[in-house]
Amino acid sequence: MSDILKNDLFLRAANGEVTERPPVWLMRQAGRILPQYRALRAKLSGFKELVETPELACEVTIQPIDELEVDAAIIFSDILVIPESMGLPYEMIPGKGPFFPDTVKNAADIAKLVEGQPAADELQYVYDAVKLTKQELNNRVPLIGFAGAPFTIFCYMIEGSGSKTFSKAKKLMYQEPVLAHQLLEKITNTTIAYLKGKVRAGADLIQLFDSWAGVLNNNTFRTFSLPYLQKIATALSAEVPVTLFAKGAWHSLPEIAASDCNVVGLDWTTDVKWARQQVGAKQVVQGNLDPCALYSDADSLKATTIQMLKDFGPHHICNLGHGVYPDTPLDNVKVFVDTVKAFKYDDIAATI
């Protein structure tokens, strides 16, 4: 579909082209930073109504395109639709976060999970939201589909909620590695079927979020997370560009880059020049401003952003290194986006 997109900057960059400037979007751009999101959200019964109603998901997905004029939309959804499709429903508790009344505790719990296409078929409301959003976007910008990484979903399925250590989930890895891999395999199969469904519905790119990779070290990451990220990247990248964002997996950037992914996501703790050394000048990377830099004054924010763009050089998709925080001043979000949009790689070349 990229040939008919009015703004295909993101797709060109993700495919490895040197673009005139980096494309820019923000993780969590469809959310509480926007007054129009907060207004809509206040009228609803809860978060899941938004996720499960295609017309509403479409509306909030497009809000940041109208308000911020970023270079990509990301379908409004949640990574936890996958465990729900496999048989573990989640609740979103205001002020607390996700909660699973049932969790995976043993082999029997893993055996009874639905997986693969039958699980993915439960998520028709997501495919409908993608289809509708593609239609409403009218090719203004590409649409990103996403999923949680298998390890992150595994954490939630065992722990049942967020955790500082995810020690219950890691306990299964250490005590019953065979069972842990069985569960990860089931999540992976479901995620592949789900993401293929999103691509069929119209998603132009895919991003995987390994939000809890940071509780692993290089050995456990390469054993319990990376192989499954690779499998999904291989299955999807023949169809659309794939971004792998493993937060906290600084120790494995070359290994992530060596997978079939197109783009390596970087969190805000990763030094730009160091990251470039790890993955090479031609690897497309995404990130990675500290979301808290958007609290600073406009001049500082602008200077920090430009320095980051220069340090990354081409083959860069500009973003924060984490989802934008809900209390970020909207004006500063606009300073960030507009600074990137006014930047030209030619200007750096001229000053060298």
Q: Which residue in the list 32, 128, 140, 325 is annotated as catalytic?
A: 32
Angle between helices 150-159 and 226-237 (to 10 degrees): 130
2/111 Cα distance (integer angstroms): 41
Q: How many residues bind its own copies (CB under 8 A)?
A: 35
x/- mask, its own copies, residues 253-292, rule CB under 8 A, reads ---------------xxxx--x---------------xxx
Q: Is 41 assigned a catalytic role?
A: yes
Amino acid symbol at 129: A
What would you report as the CA-atom Rg of the chain, rounded to the nearest whole angstrom? 19
Numbers of helices and strands, H then E, in the chain = 18, 9
36 contributes a contact to its own copies by CB under 8 A: no
| Shortest distance (Å) from residue 8 CB to its own copies | 32
299 contributes a contact to its own copies by CB under 8 A: no
| Residue from 245, 250, 312, 336 binding its own copies (CB under 8 A) | 250
Nearer to its own copies, 258 or 298 (CB): 298
Q: Which residue in the list 8, 71, 78, 210 is annotated as catalytic?
A: 78
Question: Backbone phi, then psi, for 326, in 5-degree steps?
Answer: -60, -30
Going by C-alpha positions, the residue among 45, 54, 118, 44 that lies closest to residue 85 is 118
Amino acid symbol at 343: F
Q: Is 78 assigned a catalytic role?
A: yes
| Shortest distance (Å) from residue 60 CB to its own copies | 22
| Residue from 28, 140, 251, 334 binding its own copies (CB under 8 A) | 251
- Environment class of 65 (CB within 10 Å of its CB; exposed 0-12, middle 13-18, buried 19+): buried
Q: Is 90 assigned a catalytic role?
A: no
| Residue from 161, 220, 223, 234 binding its own copies (CB under 8 A) | 220
Torsion of CA 345, 349, 350, 351, to 10 degrees: 110
Residue holding tokens 């493993």? 246
Going by C-alpha positions, the residue among 47, 30, 180 that lies closest to residue 105 is 180
Q: Is 12 assigned a catalytic role?
A: no
**Contact of 133 with 62, CB cutoff 8 Å:** yes
Restricted to residues 115-174, the positions that interact with its own copies (CB under 8 A) are: 162, 164-165, 167, 170-171, 173-174
Nearer to its own copies, 236 or 293 (CB): 293
Please give the residue ranges that form the binding site for its own copies (CB under 8 A). Answer: 162, 164-165, 167, 170-171, 173-175, 214-220, 248, 250-251, 268-271, 274, 290-293, 295-297, 300, 322, 325, 327
Which residues are catalytic, by number?
Answer: 28, 32, 41, 78, 156
